[in-house]
């Protein structure tokens, strides 16, 4: 099967498994795992952030960040299709007692202007706005990338209003290789960043939370409360460090592959349009909504898996376990459907 359902489906390569096998480990709740320290230090350095914390998942890093930045009764501002709101099981309310101000915006991205328009005044009627959260790349936006200039405008507005700015950077490295932006300059705009190692970077488990020393100290406490204190997790941290060192530059290949699929999809008469590909996500809008499951099955019969992505929508995600040969075979398959 050629599996485009998600970039989380990758399996560790032999070289990654070897890095895992030879990892030195210790008890990380005691803060004594050398492989976890090594990953956290490497990532903090790479991003120019003070400190980092290795966590179980991107949901956990986002939820920890929200919990540290807010107080019950407060409000987080985010796009209405953002992962933190739509795909984290209501965790904003359940874990932190916070409500969400959901903004619209082009392809999963919000602007300084919309945030400024919706910030609550200091009035007893309103929840206190406590956090702004961005997603880059934006999954529901078909892997859309934020313009760094817009992020800088949002950041300056947050600074003026004493609001922390969080980044759900599950696929941040895809954005970085696509734009060529300086990682440290980019990261300096945020008070906290969540980065997934288990998506396009190809590690089996884990996400990193990055921020200031004091923030990470609080995050470590919340991670324990959320049940995410791990023991000899250096084995998986070693996979994560291998991924950060070896699998970033190659993301350009995934982006080229996604572009190649897009070029073929737009020729099909059953396709209404394709959300213009910016990174590794291809969202196909169908002419007839009721053909979605039929088309998914036709691909399946040809050994190709993709995902339903809403009404009349398909999602194909390229990743390191889809080879150029498999892309060529997929293009042939698209021609025959
Ligand atoms: C995958 C993803 C996450 C985190 O998901 P986990 O499965 O919990 O690691 C967060 N945000 C976005 C945008 C994602 O795509």
Q: Do strands 313-317 and 307-308 pair parallel, antiparallel, or not at all (unpaired)?
A: antiparallel
- Give me the pLDDT at residue 319, please: 98
From the alpha carbon of 88, which atom of ligand 1 is closest? 8
- From the list 80, 121, 126, the residue with the least C-alpha distance to 100 is 80
CA 112 vs CA 103, 158, 211: distances in Å: 11, 9, 22
For ligand 1, residues with CB inside 6 Å are: 57-59, 62, 83, 135, 139, 168, 170, 196, 198-199, 207
- Give me the pLDDT at residue 156, please: 98
Contact (Cβ atoms closer than 8 angstroms) between residue 1 and residue 305? yes
Domain ranges of the chain: 7-246, 250-336
- From the list 9, 4, 3, the residue with the least C-alpha distance to 198 is 9
- Give me the pLDDT at residue 75, please: 97
**Residues in the chain with pLDDT < 70?**
none
pLDDT digits (tens, 9 = 90+) for 4-54: 999 999 999 999 999 999 999 999 999 999 999 999 999 999 999 999 999
| Token pair belonging to 35 | 């492989």
CATH class of the domain whose range is 7-246? alpha beta
Please, what's the b/e burial string for 12-26 (b: 16 or more CB within 10 A of its CB; e: otherwise)? bbeebeebbeebebb
How far apart CA 94 and CA 181 sit, in angstroms, is 36
How far apart CA 52 and CA 141 sit, in angstroms, is 28
Domain topology for 250-336: 3.90.1150
From the alpha carbon of 60, which atom of ligand 1 is closest? 8
User: Cα of 171 to ligand 1 centre, how many Å?
Assistant: 8
- From the list 271, 274, 278, 276, the residue with the least C-alpha distance to 256 is 278
Continuous segment of H or E residues that includes residue 174: helix 172-179
User: Cα of 225 to ligand 1 centre, how many Å?
Assistant: 20
- Give me the pLDDT at residue 203, please: 98
Dihedral sign (CA 208, 214, 218, 221): positive
Mutate to test the pocket of ligand 1, among 8, 88, 196, 317 (most ligand atoms within 8 A of CB): 196
- Give me the pLDDT at residue 140, please: 97
Phi, psi (degrees; rounded to nearest 5) at 251: -60, -25
Q: How many CA atoms lie within 13 A of 131 on its CB side?
A: 31
Q: What is the pTM of this model?
A: 0.97
pLDDT digits (tens, 9 = 90+) for 205-250: 999 999 999 999 999 999 999 999 999 999 999 999 999 999 999 9
Beta bridge partners of 274: 284
From the alpha carbon of 137, which atom of ligand 1 is closest? 13
SS3 276: coil
- Give me the pLDDT at residue 291, please: 96
- Give me the pLDDT at residue 300, please: 98
């Amino acid at each position: 099967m050629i599996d485009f359902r998600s970039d989380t489906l990758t399996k560790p390569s032999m070289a990654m498994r070897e890095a895992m096998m030879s990892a030195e480990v210790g008890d990380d709740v005691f803060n004594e795992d050398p492989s976890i320290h090594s990953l956290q230090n490497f990532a903090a350095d790479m991003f120019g952030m003070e400190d980092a914390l290795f966590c179980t998942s991107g949901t956990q890093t986002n939820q920890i960040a929200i919990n540290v930045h807010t107080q019950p009764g407060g409000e987080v501002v985010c796009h209405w299709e953002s992962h933190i709101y739509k795909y984290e099981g209501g965790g904003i309310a359940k874990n932190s007692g916070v409500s969400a101000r959901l903004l619209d915006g082009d392809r999963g991205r919000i602007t300084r202007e919309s945030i400024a328009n919706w910030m609550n005044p200091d009035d007893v009627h309103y929840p206190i706005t406590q956090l702004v959260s961005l997603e880059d790349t934006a999954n529901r936006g078909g892997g859309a990338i934020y313009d760094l200039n817009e992020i800088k405008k949002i950041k300056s507005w947050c600074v003026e209003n004493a609001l922390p700015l969080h980044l759900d950077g599950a696929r941040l490295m895809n954005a970085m290789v696509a734009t060529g932006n300086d990682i440290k300059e980019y990261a300096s705009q945020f008070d906290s960043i969540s980065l997934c190692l288990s998506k396009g970077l190809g590690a089996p488990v884990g996400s990193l939370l990055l921020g200031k020393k004091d923030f990470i100290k609080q995050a470590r406490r919340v991670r324990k409360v959320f049940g995410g204190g791990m023991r000899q997790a250096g084995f998986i941290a070693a996979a994560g460090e291998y991924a950060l060192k070896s699998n970033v530059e190659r993301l350009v290949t995934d982006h080229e592959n996604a572009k190649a699929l897009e070029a073929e999809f737009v020729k099909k008469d059953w396709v209404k349009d394709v959300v213009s590909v910016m990174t590794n996500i291809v969202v196909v809008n169908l002419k007839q909504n009721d053909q979605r499951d039929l088309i998914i099955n036709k691909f399946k019969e040809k050994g190709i898996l993709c995902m339903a992505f809403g009404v009349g929508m398909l999602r194909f995600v390229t990743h390191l376990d889809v080879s150029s040969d498999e892309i060529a075979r997929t293009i042939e398959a698209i021609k025959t459907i």
